[in-house]
């Protein structure tokens, strides 16, 4: 029999309030930093970017703003409500056209 340690729920009434914007670029705020998954909230000012890089399986949900997300060779316009699932090992990056906030869940 396996032992399961229950974690309490995490609730944010408005996750956008946890997003930090800086002139240096995204400053991820960890909502969950666990062994199996990581959940972050991050923001980009207009013109800022996250360089294309390979990463684990991840899910991105755009909370506010407009931009473009690149996954492999594809580019997707992103805005409030957009959801992008990126396969494990795929290169991905993001550029903000306006101030942009997002949540990301990385499966480790």
**Which CATH number belongs to the domain containing residue 67 in this structure?**
2.60.120.10
**Residue 9 in domain:** no
Q: Is the pLDDT score of 108 beyond 70?
A: yes
Which of 92, 98, 93 minimizes the C-alpha distance to 80? 98
Q: Which residues pair with 39 in a beta bridge?
A: 32, 105
**Residue 42 in domain:** yes
Which of 50, 41, 81, 47 minimizes the C-alpha distance to 64? 81
**Residue 26 in domain:** yes
**Residue 6 in domain:** no
Q: pLDDT digits over 49-74, tens only? A: 999 999 999 999 999 999 999 999 99
Give residue 3's pLDDT band: very low, low, confident or very high (50, 70, 90): low
Query: Which pLDDT score, from 0 to 100, does residue 6 have?
Result: 79
- Across residues 41-56, what is the average pLDDT? 97
Which of 65, 60, 68 minimizes the C-alpha distance to 86? 60
**Residue 7 in domain:** no
Q: Is the pLDDT score of 93 beyond 80?
A: yes
What is the tally of structural domains in the chain? Answer: 1
Domain membership of residue 23 as a residue range: 15-107
**Residue 1 in domain:** no
- Across residues 37-55, what is the average pLDDT? 97
**Residue 69 in domain:** yes
Q: Where are the beta strands (DSSP E) in 45-82?
A: 49-54, 58-64, 67-71, 74-78
Query: Over pLDDT 70: what percentage of the chain?
Result: 95
Tokens read off for 2 = 């396996």
Higher pLDDT, 7 or 47: 47
Cβ partners under 8 Å of residue 2, min gap 6: none
């Amino acid at each position: 029999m396996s032992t399961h340690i229950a974690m309490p729920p995490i609730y944010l009434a408005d996750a956008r309030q946890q997003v930090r914007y800086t002139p240096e670029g995204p400053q991820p705020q960890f909502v969950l930093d666990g062994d199996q998954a990581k959940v972050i909230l991050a923001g980009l000012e207009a013109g800022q970017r996250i360089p294309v890089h390979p990463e684990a399986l991840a899910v991105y949900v755009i909370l506010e703003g407009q931009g473009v997300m690149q996954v492999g060779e594809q580019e997707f316009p992103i805005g409030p409500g957009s959801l992008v699932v990126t396969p494990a090992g795929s290169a991905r990056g993001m550029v903000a056209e306006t101030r942009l906030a997002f949540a990301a869940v990385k499966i480790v």
